[in-house]
Amino acid sequence: MKHSIPCAFTSIEAVSGGMNQVEETMSCVYKNPNAPIEDRIKDLVSRMTLQEKVGQMTQIELCVATLDDVRNLSIGSMVSGAGKEPLEKAMASDWAETIDRFQQAAVDSRLGIPLAYGIDAVHGNNRFYGATIFPHNIGLGATGDADLAQRIGAAVALEVRASGIHFNFAPCVAVCRDPRWGRCYESFSEDTNIVRKMTSIITGLQGQPPVGHPKGYPFVAGRYNVIACAKHFVGDGGTEKGINEGNTISSYDELESIHMAPYLDCLYKGVSTVMASYSSWNGCKLHAHHFLLTEILKGKLGFKGFLISDWKALDRLSEPRGSNYRRCVYTAINAGIDMVMVPYRYKQFIEDLISLVESGEIQMTRIDDAVERILRVKFVAGLFEYPFSDRSLLDTIGCKSHGSGNEEEEYKNAIMKILALRLHRELAREAVRKSLVLLKNGKNPGKPFLPLEKNAERVLIAGTHANNLGYQCGGWTRYWQGSSGRITTGTTILDAFREVMGEKTEVIYEKYPSPNTLSGQNFSFAIVGVGEEPYAESAGDNSELVIPLNGSELISTIADRIPTLVILISGRPLVIEPWLLEKMDALVVAWLPGTEGRGITDVVFGDYEFEGRLPMTWFRTTEELPINKGDNSCDPLFPLALD
C-alpha cells in the first residue's frame, strides 16, 4: 500500500508474507531552497486546496487574529493598523515575540507557508517608541538626494526587521498636484521627475537587484531587507480639488506621463508589491479597474509581484460601505487584486471568495495567478528559509537586550546598539538639514539675517511647534493620525537651540509670549516655530490652508517687536500673506522633519549651507489652486525648484 504524505521525507515499510522492506523517499520541490523559484511556486500551488489558496490571499489584523485561524485557514499575511491594540505601547522586542508566535502557527499549518507581516513604516519604523523618525516624503523630495533616500530605506528596513516585520507599505510614489490633499506630505513632489528620482528608497528597503534582473520581477536581497510596496496605484495625487479618495479626471496619456511614470522606476528596481488606490480615475474606482490593474500594470508594464488592496478598500466598492460584500469581493478579485487587506471580516471574505470560485463567478485561473504572485514574493524574500525574527537586529532600534550573563558580551552588545542608533539618528539629522528650504533671508538685499549668532546675549523661542515632538513628526507617528507632545524619543527645536547656544546665552521659552516678555526684554532675536497639527489621509484635506493655531497672529505679534526667524513645520505649502512675509526677517520651511531637531540648528547657525529646494509650487492664494510648474497662469509666491 502506498501513502502520499505532502511535503515530508517518508520511509514506507511494507510487511506482508515475507515481502522485502521498500523505502520510498518523497521530496517537495517547494521546500528546496536551491530549486528555481518558479518551480517551487508550481510545486506548491499544485499541492494547495482552494481553502489554502484563498487563505493566502487574505491579510488580517493582529487585534482580531487567532493562532488557530492563522494555522487552520492558511492565512497569508497579517497587518497592524496604526495605534491599534494590543501592542501600540510595546517595544520592538515584544512585537518580535508576538509576530513569531503567529509565524509559528503559520509554519505549523499543513503546508507550512509562512506569513508576510506588514506595517506602514512610511518615515521610519514609526509605530515604535524609540525608533528613528525621518522626514516625511515631502521633505525628502526637497533634498533631491536619491542616495540619501536609498540610505534611509536601508536604515528603515533594519529597524522594521528588528521588530519581526517583513513587509513595509512604502514608499508612496504619488505625484501630488494639489496641496489641499490630506496626503500631500506622503508625496515627494508635484513634479514627476523628482518622484521618479526618489524611488531609490526602494533599493534601500529591498536591496540592489543584480545587473540583468528582469523588469517587474520582485527582488529582496536578504534578511536585512523588507518587502517594499509602491502605492497608491494610480493617480491618487491628482484628484479633483485634492480630495482624498476622490476622482482624478484626465486622459490616459496624462495619467501615464504624470502619475504612472514613477511606477516604471519601481518595477525596474524590483518592487515586490503594489497597493491599489482608494481613488477613482474618471469615475471608476481603482480597486475595480481591470484595465489599469490587470491590462496595464500586470500586462503592459510586466509586474510579477502581487497587488494588494488598501485597508478595508473592498468595503468602499459599495454604498453604504460594507454592504453587498460578496459583490465587492467579486469585483476586486476579478479586477486584479491578489491580496486583500480585509482586515477584520476575514471569515466572511474567505467564505465569499470560496463561494464565488465554486459558483464559477471567479475562475480558478484568477485564484492561481494571485497565489503564484504571493508565493513568488515570499520565496524571493526568503521567508520559507528564515520565517522568524532575527533578535540580533534589536540593537538597531533601541530595545532592551536580554541579559546573557556574560559581562563582556553584554558590554559589546551595548556598544553596538549605541553605534547603530547613532548612525540612524545621524542619517535622519542629515536628511533634516538637507531638506530645509530658505524662503527669505533678511529684509534688505545684501544684508542676510542668517546665519544666527550662537553667542547671542538673549534669545526668545516661541510658538506651538517649538517644543512639540509629535507636531514635528506629523501623522503616521506612533498613531495613524499622529499625536502631540513627547510621543517618542528625539530632539525638539527648543532642545536643539538649547544644546547649541553659548553658555552665556539666556534662552527664554514661552509658547505664547506674554506682553511683559515682549516689551520688557532686550532680545537679540526670536525663533518662532509654527505650523500644522498632525493629520493623516482624509482628516488632512484642507481647502483653506492657513497656518493653524493662530500661527500668523503669533508671528506678527513677535516680529513687530523682535527680529524673527520663522520655522514652518508643515506637510505642504500654506498661505503666507504678503504683509506677514514682510514682517519676518527670515523664513525656513522645515516640512515634517521627524525626531532630529539638531538638523535645523546645523543649518540656521551656518555649520552647513541650505540645500533644500521647493518640491511644490508655493501658491499665493488658495483661489489659484491647483497650480503647478508649467501652468500658463502660474504666478506663485515661490516657484517649484527644478535642477
3-state secondary structure of 521: coil
Q: Which three cell numbers stand for residue 2?
A: 502506498
126's enclosing H/E stretch is none
Which residue, chain included where needed, has cell 512610511?
122
Q: What are phi and psi of 591, to 5 degrees?
A: 55, -135
DSSP 432-453: HHHH-EEEEE-SBTTB--PSPP
Is 430 assigned a catalytic role? no
CB-based contact 141:152 (threshold 8 Å) = no
What CA–CA distance (Å, rounded) separates 431 from 412?
A: 29
The closest alpha carbon to 454, from 492, 499, 485, belongs to 499
Judge contact between 175 and 463, C-beta under 8 A: no
In terms of DSSP bridges, do strands 116-119 and 77-79 run parallel, antiparallel, or are they unpaired?
parallel
Orientation angle between helical segments 346-358 and 325-335, nearest 10 degrees: 70
Q: Count Cα atoms within 13 angstroms, Cβ side, for 408.
A: 0
> Most distant CA pair in the chain: distance in Å?
110
3-state secondary structure of 372: helix
C-alpha cell at position 6: 505532502
- CA–CA gap between residue 577 and residue 637 (Å, rounded): 10
Determine how β-strand 284-285 pairs with β-strand 280-281: antiparallel
Q: Angle 37-47/364-380 helices, nearest 10 degrees?
A: 130
Angle, CA of 629, 429 and 525, to the nearest 5°: 80
Residue 413 cell numbers, joined: 552588545
Q: What are phi and psi of 641, to 5 degrees?
A: -100, 120
* DSSP bridge pairs for 479: 477
74 Cβ contact list (under 8 Å, min separation 6): 48, 51, 52, 55, 56, 106, 109, 110, 111, 113
- Which of these is catalytic: 186, 372, 430, 537? 537
Q: Among residues 237, 255, 280, 279, which one has the least CA distance to residue 572?
A: 237
3-state secondary structure of 347: helix
Cell matching residue 226 = 523588507
Amino acid at 232: H
CA distance 448 to 304: 54
Residue 537 falls in the annotated catalytic set? yes
Q: What angle do CA 286, 287, 288 make, to 5 degrees?
A: 85
Which of 52, 265, 310, 430 is flagged as catalytic? 310
- Whole-number Å distance between alpha carbons of 118 and 116: 6
First to last CA, the chain: 74
- Of the candidates 360, 364, 298, 282, which has an alpha carbon nearest to the alpha carbon of residue 335? 298
Q: How far apart are CA 609 and CA 274, in angstroms?
A: 37
| Per-residue exposure over 289-320, b if at least 16 CB sit within 10 Å of its own CB, e if not | beebbbebbbeebebbbbbbbbbbbbbbbeee
Grid cell listed for 304 = 510579477
Annotated catalytic sites, by residue? 310, 537
